[in-house]
Structure 1
Amino acid sequence: MITVDPKCSELYPGLCIGFLALNGTSSAGENGDRALDLRRAELEAELRRRLSGIDKATLATLPPFPAYSAYYKRFKKTYHVLLQLESVALKGRSLASPGALVQAMFMAELENRLLTAGHDLDSIAGPIVVRAATGREEFITLDGHERRLKPLDLHMADDHGVISSIIYGPDSRTRIHPGTGRVLYTVYGVPGIEPAEVDLHLQRLEEYATLAAPNAAVEERRVLTTS
């Protein structure tokens, strides 16, 4: 389903990529909203208790933030999950999402701090390849803007083009929508992130997604490593 271009291991030694494919998710939100919302509230309260009293600077030192910050720094960007955790844990705001399958992803992302993207699997054309950008690739982001990838930014592409990049996030073409019956979650484990961390994250993703869609079943779950 997903392969990694060998050049990525030269540019980003230790890179690992995780993915989780689920089917039977078209009922997401019909019966699972309450269970997922209760778990979201528990998670938010847990994060606030655990991180109570620490400041923004200290938050940024918690793993795996330094690994992601090192990646984002080369592109003069800030890791958005750090900002989201600051908003929920330190400022008391609630996690917002456009739907149950996306909420499940945001919850796992916030809990484990690993960069994750979600896609409608039936909208993906052919196999997916992880590559480092040349700087010529373009795609339409979730917000409807056309973006040209920054050189060397890691991204995923199918036969029709880019479906996500680390810096710009997921695309509009394969976005999760209310009728999504098969969902694909992908995880960018930048250098410094251990494969075991990604695997645990995928397990949590599965747990939250099946809260949202109790009839969901795993098609495939894997962690790809590079050497």
Structure 2
Amino acid sequence: MIKISPAVKEIYPDAMFGIMTANMSNASASRSQMDTLKKVEIDRIKTKYKEYDRKAIINSEPICHYVTHYKKFKKTYPVLLQLESILLKDKGIPSVGISVEAMFLAEVKNLLLTGGHDLNQIGGYLTLDIAVGGENYLSISGKQQQLTKGDLYLSDDRGILSSVLNGPDYRTRITDTTQNVLYFVYGVDGITGEQIRKHLENIRYYLLTASPNVNIQTVEVF
């Protein structure tokens, strides 16, 4: 399903990744179930980090590995900012559809970077590669993004789907008509296969809780 460039293992020899696909075509989502689930999980997250200490968090597993990775590029790990928006600004996860909400909820719980894509908009084989710098794609915000040298990115035969530093693309974004979803977990050096498996299992659980008819298909950690 995915080809990994030799450059990935050369530059990031210990990095692991995960993929899960889900068919939503027969899924009937329960908004109340998802809202209840989000409240319960966010309350747990707030309890876990009741005494918020940014220095302590960024030095803890697994977020320390992402912080280290982003620091190399003079950037801040975006999932840390998402977590802080919940803890410090009392923001929640917006109601944008269960396939996206499940991913966001798992991200702030497990702190693993994850991209969501409309599988039907993906053309040909997936490739994971290292940017040489200057590659372009249209981001989910509709703006052109240029990749930084050394960035990890995912592409298909039509172009770039996402990158660690710049996030997902516009072409394969999940919409309210998406029937088949692909989740891709970027595990930088230090993130274990077990952490990725548990993360994907959380997404699976959230999806099935809100919509029992979701058909979970591919689950792979590599």
Normalised to the residue count of structure 1, the TM-score between the two structures is 0.93
Q: How does 1:1-227 map to 2 (within 5 A)?
A: 1-23=1-23, 25-26=24-25, 30-224=28-222
Paired AA for residue 2 in structure 1: I
Q: Say if 1:52 and 1:90, in contact at 8 Å, map to a contact too.
A: no
CA RMSD of aligned residues (A): 1.4
Q: Say if 2:29 and 2:98, in contact at 8 Å, map to a contact too.
A: no
Paired AA for residue 101 in structure 1: S
- 1:120-166 alpha-carbon deviations (Å, 9 max, x no partner): 00000011010000113110000000111111100000000100000
Q: What stretches of structure 1 move > 3 A for 4+ residues in a row?
A: none
C-alpha deviation, 1:94, in angstroms: 1.5
Q: Distance in 1 between matches of 2:155 and 2:172?
A: 11
Paired AA for residue 11 in structure 1: I
C-alpha deviation, 1:61, in angstroms: 1.9
- 1:75-112 alpha-carbon deviations (Å, 9 max, x no partner): 11100111111121243222225222111100011111
Q: Say if 1:27 and 1:213, in contact at 8 Å, map to a contact too.
A: no
Structure 1 residue runs without a partner (length 5+): none
Q: Distance in 2 between matches of 1:213 and 1:62?
A: 33
Normalised to the residue count of structure 2, the TM-score between the two structures is 0.95
Q: Distance in 1 between matches of 2:35 and 2:7?
A: 41
Paired AA for residue 203 in structure 2: L
Q: Distance in 2 between matches of 1:210 and 1:128?
A: 26
Could you say what secondary structure the match of 1:81 adopts?
helix
Q: Say if 1:2 and 1:129, in contact at 8 Å, map to a contact too.
A: yes
| Number of aligned residue pairs | 222
Q: Distance in 2 between matches of 1:91 and 1:148?
A: 31
Percent identity reads: 38
Q: Distance in 1 between matches of 2:215 and 2:137?
A: 30
Structure 2 residue runs without a partner (length 5+): none
C-alpha deviation, 1:193, in angstroms: 0.3
Q: Say if 1:129 and 1:157, in contact at 8 Å, map to a contact too.
A: yes
- 1:52-74 alpha-carbon deviations (Å, 9 max, x no partner): 11322222222111100111111
